[in-house]
A = this chain, B = another copy of it.
């Protein structure tokens, strides 16, 4: 039983065939798939699965904090399995998403919020860039 599956069970979710398939797809993902992409990958395993179920399952998993929903500036959501805290740099030429962490940045964000009189609850930082070519 995968860790995702385990944590779903702990949350009291019924482990249906469809959910098992979606969890496997997520477990196997090293990227940040859209709902449509999760759906396509799931269909390869069980072609009878419906996109409504994918939407419902991803929403549930997001609520349980087992996955993280992102809305890059594309008009739809992407999901990723909830790993360590990090941010994203989106390659504007290829759409590739690169993850990074930066401790200094974390401190700075919290400080900025505090200075404005706020407790930082959540945030979003995305960089969009082009690869530097060394000729």
Contact = CB atoms under 8 A, between A and B. Distances in A.
Interface stretch (A12-20, A39-47, A104-112): A104-112
Interface of A is mostly: strand
Interface in A54-108: 71, 73, 89, 91-92, 98, 100, 102, 104-105, 108
Contacts of A116: 89, 98, 100, 129
Contacts of A100: 112, 116
B123 A128 contact: yes
Interface string A120-135: 1111111111111000
Given A113-B127, A124-B124, A91 B118 contact: yes
A92 B121 contact: yes
Kindly list the 5 A-B residue pairs having the minimum CB-CB distance in the complex, ordered from nearest.
A118-B129, A122-B128, A123-B127, A124-B126, A125-B125
A125 B124 contact: yes
